[in-house]
Amino acid sequence: MPDAFNSLLHGFSIALTPLNLLWGFIGVTLGTFIGVLPGVGPALTVAMLMPLTIKLDPTGALIMFAGIYYGAMYGGSTTTILLNTPGESASIATALEGNLMAKKGRAGPALATSAIGSFVAGTIATILVTLLAPIVVELALKFGPAEYFALMIFAFTTVAAVIGSSTVRGLTSLFLGLLLGVVGIDSQTGRSRFAFGVPELLDGIDVVVLAVGLFAVGEALYVAAYSSRLEEKLEQLKGSLWMSKEDWQRSWPAWLRATAIGFPFGSIPAGGAEIPTFLSYATERKLTKHPEEFGKGAIEGVAGPEAANNASVTGALVPLLTLGIPTSATAAILLSAFQNYGIQPGPLLFVTQADLVWGLLASLYIGNVLLLILNLPLVGIWVKVLAIPRPLLYGGILVFATLGAYSLHQSVVDLMILYVFGLLGFVMRRWNIPVAPAVIGLILGPLAETQARRALAISQGDASVFITQPISASILAISFLLLIVPLIVQLVRQR
């Protein structure tokens, strides 16, 4: 334990250098600004702002990314509450009560409880990450390729089968992502696969291009086609921004409970922040002393899900940093940002890049404080951002989103692929096929393949290696059950 404390202190000495502090500050500000834009979730925000870090050293860049990641979530809650257009599925629960509070003229307290709740949950979760990460690293250092492979299969199962309304469609999305993942030069044998002689495809498909295509282009096509002609109602920010004594009393137990719900979901690779936000909403609804307010704008219904979202997103940094396994689309893009710097997250990262890891963790504490200071006083500015007319807003989003995809390799081929992914995103959105599994499949698929081959190389081709080692066997068994049980339930229900 003293080790972690000393490392963290060292981390603060890195994160608090004026330059890194500046990158963190720019990160949270830009992240909030972009995250506020309706229809732009955290994953797209990180993807869009990736080119800005081209010139930074890895530590500075990742500190800025952490700021963007957090800022985007704070910004997203503002939009959800004032506009009732959740930018990501994890904000749907917030939208339920938050927008109703805003309609009743209580937008201020709703924004305050979400911002302060995010701060409380984010800070507690960051402390837990700091304490937990070194322990997981100890464990992970004992893992061989077979265990890693099993963990990745587990992550695939949870993101595809557990999230969303249909296991079959979730898996379809995952397999599309896996298919895109094999395009290009095979890292083990140097053979090209499915590149069709296009040189740009030999390097593989970049996860940023897929994410921007699905989240920005697909979304813009969908909104243009199906809801660009609707009137939308932006709730005004009236009255006090501050929470009353009663608001505080009702909020803080919700924040703490939600942190306890959200963090475990994020830290075991159990698929994103959607489930814990709904669990927290249901918990608050059950425990509240004011059940009559639920469905009419109850403050617990905002405080809980927002805190759960932040806790689980922060918790997701544990598998990302210690195992190199992303459990959400945003984490997948962060992983690709690491890879762009030639860094492969995993247990060794804590040894080989200790400065970077602990600087990053320290910057999370700082980011949370910066956001708390920035977000509430500046809420007037964010509200103005929300008032930008839709045509200009989406024009701007696409200008910056396509820039993010183009500036990676300055390639027209990337722009063509981007448009194809946009069409795919439109179809997936219209027919309710989740997109996050595809993004995670694209980046995690090749890693899983590599681990499987390493495991087989060690066992000299004996495929039973995955089920004869206890850890790998039990993880695979759990994954199998998670996958198969919902399908059986569905089949039985149809009878």
Partner 1 sequence: MRYKRAELILSLAILFLGIAVAIGTSQLSSAGGYARIGPNVAPMIISGGLILLGAWLSYEALSGGWRNAVPDDPETRGEHSFQASAFVWVSAGLIAQIFLIHSAGFVLAQAALFLCVARGFGSGKFVRDFAIGLVLGLGVFLFFVKFLNVNLPAGWLQPLLGGAGI
Query: What residues make contact with partner 1 under the rule CB under 8 A?
Result: 51-52, 54-55, 165-166, 168-169, 171-172, 175-176, 178-179, 182, 186, 188-189, 191, 193-194, 217, 220-221, 223-230, 389-392, 394-396, 398-400, 402-403, 406-407, 410, 412, 415-416, 418-419, 422, 427, 430-432, 445, 449, 452-454, 456-457, 460-461, 490
* Nearer of residues 17 and 166 to partner 1, judged by Cβ: 166
* Nearer of residues 54 and 135 to partner 1, judged by Cβ: 54
Q: Give the three-class secondary structure for 344.
A: coil
Tokens (6 digits) for 490: 């569905």
Do 183 and 204 contact (CB within 8 A), yes or no?
Answer: yes
Q: Cβ atoms within 10 A of the Cβ of 464, count?
A: 9
Minimum Å gap between C-beta 474 and partner 1 is 22
Do 316 and 267 contact (CB within 8 A), yes or no?
Answer: yes
Do 376 and 27 contact (CB within 8 A), yes or no?
Answer: no
Tokens (6 digits) for 134: 């070194």
* Nearer of residues 5 and 226 to partner 1, judged by Cβ: 226
Minimum Å gap between C-beta 253 and partner 1 is 34
Do 209 and 29 contact (CB within 8 A), yes or no?
Answer: no
* Nearer of residues 12 and 25 to partner 1, judged by Cβ: 25
* Beta carbons within 8 Å of 85's beta carbon, 6+ residues apart: 38, 39, 79, 95, 232
Minimum Å gap between C-beta 144 and partner 1 is 14
* Nearer of residues 138 and 462 to partner 1, judged by Cβ: 462
Q: Cβ atoms within 10 A of the Cβ of 106, count?
A: 25
Minimum Å gap between C-beta 462 and partner 1 is 9
Minimum Å gap between C-beta 217 and partner 1 is 7
CA distance 335 to 341: 10
Minimum Å gap between C-beta 153 and partner 1 is 11
Identify the residue whose tokens are 């963790």. 361
* Nearer of residues 286 and 493 to partner 1, judged by Cβ: 493
* Beta carbons within 8 Å of 416's beta carbon, 6+ residues apart: none
Minimum Å gap between C-beta 397 and partner 1 is 8
* Nearer of residues 208 and 418 to partner 1, judged by Cβ: 418
Residue 158 carries which side chain, given as an amino acid letter? Answer: T
CA distance 365 to 457: 42
Minimum Å gap between C-beta 179 and partner 1 is 5
DSSP string, 457-477: HHTTT-TTHHHHSHHHHHHHH
CA distance 140 to 133: 10
* Beta carbons within 8 Å of 455's beta carbon, 6+ residues apart: 144, 145, 146, 149, 465, 466
* Nearer of residues 474 and 490 to partner 1, judged by Cβ: 490
Minimum Å gap between C-beta 325 and partner 1 is 18
* Nearer of residues 220 and 370 to partner 1, judged by Cβ: 220
